[in-house]
Amino acid sequence: MYDLVVIGTGPGGYVCAIRAAQLGMKVAVVEKRPRHGGTCLNVGCIPSKALLHASEMFDDASRHFHSMGINVTPQLDLAQMMAFKDEGVKGNVDGVAYLLKKNKIDSFHGTGRILDGGTVGVTFINGETSTLAAKAIVIATGSDVISLPGVTIDEEKVVSSTGALAFEKVPNRLVVIGAGVIGLELGSVWRRLGSDVVVVEYLDRILPGMDSEVARTFQRILEKQGFSFLLGHKVTGVADAGDGSLAVSVVPASGDATGTSLDADAVLVAVGRKPFTDDLGLDDAGVERDTKGRIVVNDHFETSVAGIFAIGDVIAGPMLAHKAEDEGVAVAEILAGQAGHVNYDVIPGVVYTAPEVASVGKTEDELKSEGRAYVAGKFPFTANGRAKVNKTTDGFVKVLADAQTDRVLGVHIIGPHAGEMIAEAAVLMEFGGSAEDLARTCHAHPTLTEAVKEAALAAGKRAIHI
């Protein structure tokens, strides 16, 4: 009998298991892949960041090194770049396996199915079966790609994010369906390596859900980098053009005009992800799901069946690895009788392009729709000493604070290393800090983070360097 069985060892699942073991529980995990780490470590966050880093270095060497007095002519070895990516993935998944073993957690590689509130059936990779008895079960099975009607993903020419991480050659023409985080990140990888990239988006903007001013600025920057955007359009089909290329049928989202056809060598379908909740035995066990297929949980992450919990992409909220990790820790602590908690108002989101885009808290659009009085302070990287000397001046920092209390409600950054800088804002907001608190905190000079301080100063109309 286990105290806890966790189904899925992505960031949410393995973190939940480790925290539970730290708290003295006997824990087992069930993972369908041969390796731990889930989508994130195997075919998501980690390999995409490896290719983003490598392709950015290639792009810098091709276009920017000469201005620093470094004269090189880089040659792309795509096979070696993929080996670099795979080595990084292996290091991370091996690290998870080590941590599970270190914490004396039993690992079972196979598909898990809930038989009842206290039993998980496991079908191993070799076809054999077993059952695990548990006092509590956590579902952490993550998400899967959303397909598009009329578009068949073969992971060769028409790919999901998984296939876009493993092209054997650089596509001359890449059509990306969807202008969200995944589409823009992977589009950036292949644009830097030589692809002509066209992004087709159903909405009239990129990065839906992020601050609209940030999105508009980011689109202009990407267009300067060579991206083309077809907004307010949808893809209705992808056909073989007969010469090895593809014909992508595109029509206006409004449906009030004739469509067109785009030529492509590859198509990336990046229209979002859906909870992976099929074949888990949820209906037979009585676990309730909502209309979007997400598992319904209460404030303690418990499902409609006592003793069965769910975290991460399978429940409501942003599909982010760090959100799942925090939920995993919270569940483990709740099971141990502690006050596990996740602050959903302070979950940062990052787009790992160049420049990066990072956000935490409310956007201006949300504050306006809520009718909340706020002040905004903005500071451009063109006025930041470190950014100017490094010639990485695209973007800005924006701080949004309550007009009466000065409490910071949201921070949005587009610029170099935005994903690292947003942590400062998250810490401040976690403790209910004000723009004044941020403005009066001494920041090292010269650093990019001085732009965060200056944006906080600007919220009080007293920025120094603009």
Positions annotated as catalytic residues are: 445
Take residue 199 and report the two structure tokens written for it: 């992004």
Cβ neighbours around 239 below 10 Å, total: 12
256 phi and psi angles, rounded to 5 deg:
-105, 20
Q: Contact at 8 Å (CB) between 272 and 254?
A: no
3-state secondary structure of 136: strand
Peptide bond between residue 74 and the one before it cis (omega within 30 degrees of 0): no
* Size of the chain, expressed as the number of residues it contains: 466
DSSP state string for 70-129:
--------HHHHHHHHHHHHHHHHHHHHHHHHHTT-EEEEEEEEEEETTEEEEEETTS-E
**CA-to-CA dists, residue 215 to 13, 212, 219, angstroms:** 32, 5, 6
> 440: Cβ–Cβ under 8 A, 6 or more apart, which residues?
none
Take residue 398 and report the two structure tokens written for it: 């924006």
Tokens 């907004």 — which residue? 231
Q: Contact at 8 Å (CB) between 312 and 12?
A: yes
3-state secondary structure of 54: helix
3-state secondary structure of 265: coil
DSSP letter for 407, please: B
Q: How many whole angstroms separate alpha carbon 414 and alpha carbon 213?
A: 10
3-state secondary structure 346-396: CCCEEECCCCEEEEEECCHHHHHHHCCCEEEEEEEHHHCHHHHHHCCCCCE
Q: Contact at 8 Å (CB) between 263 and 173?
A: yes
Q: Which residues pair with 137 in a beta bridge?
A: 5, 308
Distance between terminal CA atoms of the chain? 64
